[in-house]
Amino acid sequence: MASLAPFLGGALVLGGVAVAVSRRRELMVRWCAWAVGVPLVTGAFWWGRPGAAALAVVVGVIAVLEFGGLMRLGRADRVVLAAAVVGVVLATWLTPGQVLRAVALGALAVAAVPLLAGDAEHGLRRLGAGLLGLAWLSALAALVPLGASALALFVAVSVADIAAYFAGRRLGGPRLSPLSPAKRWSGTLAGAAAGLGVLAVLSVLSWPTAVAVAVGGPAGDLLESMVKRGAQVKDAGHWLPGSGGLLDRIDSLLVALAVLLVLS
């Protein structure tokens, strides 16, 4: 953790200089959000597993609320889904051997809401959305065992996202997917290279982390794009300066964490 702090601080300073030179208001707002968020996230990981668990719980609950809004889930569905995600995180922290049981119990609880309501019209949609949310957002539990490696993965995925955005706009070429017409294969490859470079600088480069950043990151972004297109909205929320919602900021990280867990 101590080895990451200088890199994070340096990245913030360099980013601030670049933003000031660009004079773009959108980038300035986004940098200010990073300047507040990075110390908070770093402090949580510095606390160890309890801090990582607390961070995963807070982020998980916010992400569930945003996801529930996108999928038009009712209050009961959101509350049960949030409780299920929190249960998986707490099980990962306190009883690691019972994680699969916690996931199964969460899935049963999510399924019980539309079943007990007798919702024949929208029950299947609610059930599918709830199970997708549980599978997707429970990946946050990986923050607990991965610790500083998860923080390094987040930095690498974030840098890859930024590099892919600018490289795709400048280089052009074939589109990555109809789900996100603005994204190009050129940008994705450039972003992957940048992300791998960050992993190497932070001394956490391995084939699982490389696949997580190069494949899991773009896949997570496309997954959220699919959800948002289905909901016909541009952003998952409107409260996070420069990023829309929290889910818009962590979409790539979620699938990258899942990939890293599977490969590790």
Residues 151 and 259 in one domain: yes
SS3 13: helix
What's the pLDDT score for residue 217?
Answer: 93
Torsion from C-alpha of 58, 141, 223, 197, nearest 10 degrees: 100
Instruction: For residue range 113-170, list pLDDT tens digits in order.
Output: 999 999 999 999 999 999 999 999 999 999 999 988 888 898 899 888 888 888 888 8
For residues 190-200, give the mean pLDDT.
92
Instruction: For residue range 88-102, list pLDDT tens digits in order.
Output: 999 999 999 999 999
Residues 93 and 161 in one domain: no
Q: Which domain holds residue 138?
A: 49-143
What's the pLDDT score for residue 168?
Answer: 82
d(CA 183, CA 35): 27
d(CA 196, CA 192): 6
- Residue 55 identity: L
Task: Please tell me the least confidently modeled range out of 1-5, 109-113, 119-123, 190-194.
Answer: 1-5
Instruction: For residue range 77-86, list pLDDT tens digits in order.
Output: 999 999 999 9
Percentage of the chain beyond pLDDT 70 is: 86
Which residue, among 181, 146, 163, 152, has the nearest Cα to 264 in the 3D structure? 146
Residues 98 and 135 in one domain: yes
Residues 241 and 211 in one domain: yes
What's the pLDDT score for residue 17?
Answer: 67
Residue where a domain stops, chosen among 143, 160, 191:
143
Task: Please tell me the least confidently modeled range out of 35-39, 118-122, 142-146, 250-254.
Answer: 35-39
Residue where a domain stops, chosen among 122, 143, 164:
143
Contacts of 253 (CB under 8 A, 6+ apart): 153, 154, 157, 158, 217, 220
Give the total number of structural domains in the chain. 2
Torsion from C-alpha of 196, 253, 139, 137, nearest 10 degrees: -170
Has residue 1 got a pLDDT over 60?
no
Has residue 2 got a pLDDT over 60?
no
Residues 126 and 162 in one domain: no
Residue 138 located in a structural domain: yes
Q: What pTM does this model have?
A: 0.87
Has residue 220 got a pLDDT over 90?
yes
Residue 6 located in a structural domain: no
For residues 207-228, give the mean pLDDT.
94
d(CA 202, CA 214): 16
Conformational region of residue 176, where left means phi above 0, alpha means psi within -120 to 50, and beta covers everything else: alpha
